[in-house]
Amino acid sequence: MSERGLFAHSRSPRSGCRHRLEDHLRGSAALARAFAESFGAGDVAEYLALVHDVGKGCGAWQDRLIFHAEPTGKPVGIPHKEAGTVLAARTVGRQLAAVVQGHHGGLPDQNQIKDVLAELRGTGVDAERAREATEAVARVVPEILREGRIPPPAWLAGLGSPQRQALAVDVFTRMVFSCVVDADYLDTEAHFAGGEPRVAARADMGVLLKRFEERRLRLLARRAASPVDELRERVYAQALAAAAGAPGMYVLHVPTGGAKTIAAGGFALRHAVEHGLGRVVFAVPYISITQQNAEVYRELLDPAPDSGERPVVLEHHSSVELDEEGAGAWARMAAENWDAPVVVTTTVQLFQSLFARKPSVMRKLHRLAGSVIVLDEVQALPDRLLIPILSVLRDLVEHFGASVVLTSATQPSFWSLAQLPRYGVIEDVSGLFEELRRVDYDWRLGPEVTWESIAQDIASEGGEQVLTIVNTTRDSARLHRLLNSAEGEARVTAPVWHLSTRMTAEHRREVIRHVRGELAANRPVHVVSTSLIEAGVDVDFPRVYRAWAPAEALQQAAGRCNRDGRLDRGTVVVFRPVDGGVPKDLSYRAALEATGEFFGPGDASAPDDLEALECYYEKRWALQGTDGRSMGESIQELRRLWDFPAVAEAFQMIDSRYAQSVVVIRAEKTDEERDAIESDIALLRSSYPAGPEPLRRLQPHMATLPRHEVAEGLRVGLAEPVIGDLVVWRGHYDPVRGLDADDPEDRGGYVL
C-alpha cells in the first residue's frame, strides 16, 4: 500500500488519475478555512476538514476502493468516518466531532458520538482500522496529529447563560458543518471534473449597487406613470438612507403596492457596500414570488448576455431530497451551495436548511455569514416554528456578521415573542398606509355562499378583469371548471387562466407574464389561483375575489387590486363558501378565529387597519397556548441538547411526507428543448458528480405533487426515478391546469 500511495476517490474520467488522499484532505481543509474565517472559525473548520476522511487510510478501505468500487461503480462499503471523529473529539471537542461523524449521513446526536468514541477505545475491527488509518495518514499528512486543543471563537465562550450558549453552539456546529461538507464536495467534484474547485470570486458590491441604480432609473422610465410613483420613490429613498445604519435586524414595513422588492434590493446592496458584506440572500414564501423577484433582480443586476461574465443572480427553489437512501454515491454533489453574489430562494429552503442535519441540504449555510438576508412577506412564517426561527436569526446577526431585513405589508409583532433588537426603515408607517388605501371590501360570509354562487357572481358582476384567490388546489380546479363550463350560468366569456403548484414553475411564469400583458392592454382576463399569487406578485386587477382566510392573506390579496392607484377605489370581495376547503392545523384555525373577531363587515375593521392587525396577531398567538410549545419551544429544548436528528424531524415547514418535486417535459417543447432536458436528467443519473448546474436548469420544469401520487405514478410507469427523490413525470399534463388537478388534495399546498 505504501508504494501505491493512499487514495480518497477512484479515477477521474477526465485525468485518468485517482484522487490522492493527502491532496483531498489538504484541499478540503484550505477551502473550509476560507469559508469559516468570516465567523472566527477558520482553525476549527480547517482541522475538521483535514481529518474528515482519515479513515480511508486503512488497508481494507484502500483495497476495496481499487479492487471493488472502481471496477463496479459501487460504494466501498467500509466505514471511514470514525478515525477522524476520534481526532476531532481530541482536538476540538466532542460536540464538534459530530461534524466529522456526520459528513456523509448527517449530524448525529451526542449519544451516538459517545458510543462511537467508546467503541474505538476498544479492540474491535473498527477500532483497529481507525488506528491503522490514523498512523498511515499521519505519515503523509502529519498535521492531523496536534499537541493541544483548538479553542472555539472567543465570542462563543462569553455568552453568559448556559442555555444561551447551548443554542449558539448548535448554530456554530451547523455553520462549521456546512463549511466542511461544501469544501469536501467542491474538492471531490474538482477531481472528477479534472479542474480546480468551483468557487466564485468575491463580487464587487459597489459595482453591483451602481448597476442597480442605473438600471432602476431606466426601468422606471419605461413604465407608465402611476399615481403612487412619488410614494414609491419616497419608500426607496428612506430604504437607502436606512442602509447606512449599523449591521443588525431591520424592519421594512410597507403597504402592498409600495414597491418593497426594489426598496429591499436597494437597501441590501447599499448596506453590503457600507459594511463590506459579500452576499445578498432574498427569501420569499412562494415560488411564484421567487420567480418574479429573480426576474426583477436579474434585469437590474445580471451582466449583458454577450459579456462573458457569470450571472449575478441565482434563483433556487428546488426542494429535491438528495440524501435519500439509494440516491447514489454522488447524488449530494448536485446540491445547491449558493455560490453567487445574489441568491433568490424560498423561506422553506432557507429555514429547512438551517434546522436540517443532512449534508446536501446544509452545504450552503455558511454563505449566510457576512450576508444581508432579506425575508420577504414574513407574515407567512409558520406560527408553530416562530421561536426557533427568531432565535436563529438573532444568532446570525449577533455572531455571524449577517444583517436581516424583515419585510411585509402585514408585519407581525415578533418582538412580543422574542428579544429582537431592531431598526425601522420607514419613518411614518401609519401615514404611509393611509396614503396607500385604494380598495373597498365587500363581505360575503353568509350560509348561502357556495362555489356555484360565487362563480355566478363573477360571471355577472365581476367585469372583464377579475382575479379569484382560493385556499386549495382542489378548490382552484373546481372553480376554474365552473367558470369554463359551457352549460353553466357561471360561464364567463373572457379567457380564464389557472395558477397552482401542480403547474411547472415555467408554466406559472408564462401565465403570469401573459396575464400582465392582457391587463396592460386592457383586455378581458380572468384568473383563478391558489394563494401563491397573493403575496408580492405584481398584477393589478380592478376586482379581486378572496376566499375566507387569515387577515394577512386578505390584505395581501387586496394588494393585487388597484395596485397602481389608477382607480378611485378597487373592490375586494371576501367570500366564505360553505363547501370550500381550509387547512386543519392549529395555527390556521387560530388565525381564522382571530380574523373573525377583528375583521369583517359593519363596525369591524378592514384588514389594513394596523392597530387591529396588532391585536389580531396577539390573539392568534394566545389561542395557541402561552407556554411557547405550540410555537416551537420544544425544538429549542432539542437544540440545547445538540440532538440534530430530533431537531430535523421536528422542524418541518412543509411536511415532507406529502410534497415531492417532479420534472415535466411539456408537450409544447421543441425537440431541441426536450433533448436539453433529457440531457440534464441523464447527467444527474450518471455515475460521476454533476455539480448543481443540471438541477438549476431543471428548476423551471418542476411541479409539486403529493408523495402518494408520485409513488403510484412510479408503480404504474407514469414516472421514472432521476436522483434522490426527484422523478420525471411521463403522464398527462393539462396545458391549463397542469398535473391532474382532480386527484386528492396536496396538503403541502397549504404551507407557505
Query: For residue 14, what pLDDT is reported?
Result: 87
3-state SS assignment for residue 520: helix
For the chain, the average pLDDT equals: 89
Distance CA 117, CA 115 (A): 6
* Helix intervals (H) in 403-546: 429-435, 451-461, 473-484, 505-520
C-alpha cell at 391: 432565535
Residue among 343, 383, 345, 378 at smallest CA distance from 260: 378
- Integer CA distances (angstroms), 199 to 35, 182, 186, 187, 742, in order: 10, 10, 8, 10, 45
C-alpha cell at 193: 471534473
Overall average pLDDT of the 357-376 stretch: 95
Grid-cell match 355562499, residue found:
449
Distance CA 542, CA 519 (A): 10
The string of pLDDT tens digits covering residues 265-317 is 999 999 999 999 999 999 988 776 777 788 889 999 999 887 878 889 988 86
Whether 328 shows a pLDDT value over 60: the answer reads: no
3-state SS record for 452-476 = HHHHHHHHHHCCCEEEEECCCHHHH
Whether 1 shows a pLDDT value over 50: the answer reads: no
Overall average pLDDT of the 694-699 stretch: 86
3-state SS assignment for residue 502: coil
Helix (H) or strand (E) holding 300: helix 287-301
Write the DSSP assignment of 545-563 as a string of letters: EEES--HHHHHHHHTTBST
The string of pLDDT tens digits covering residues 66-92 is 999 999 888 898 999 999 999 999 999
Helix (H) or strand (E) holding 408: strand 403-408
3-state SS record for 134-145 = HHHHHHHCHHHC
**Cα-to-chain-centroid distance, residue 73:** 33
Whether 629 shows a pLDDT value over 80: the answer reads: no
Grid-cell match 386543519, residue found:
584
Distance CA 407, CA 412 (A): 10
Distance CA 643, CA 110 (A): 7
Q: What is the pTM of this model?
A: 0.88
**CB-CB neighbours of 667 under 10 Å:** 9
Distance CA 89, CA 110 (A): 11
The string of pLDDT tens digits covering residues 704-714 is 888 888 998 99
Encoded amino acid at 325, one letter: E
Query: For residue 325, what pLDDT is reported?
Result: 44
Distance CA 732, CA 502 (A): 12
% the chain with pLDDT above 90: 64
Most confident listed range (22-36, 516-530, 641-655)? 22-36
Whether 322 shows a pLDDT value over 90: the answer reads: no
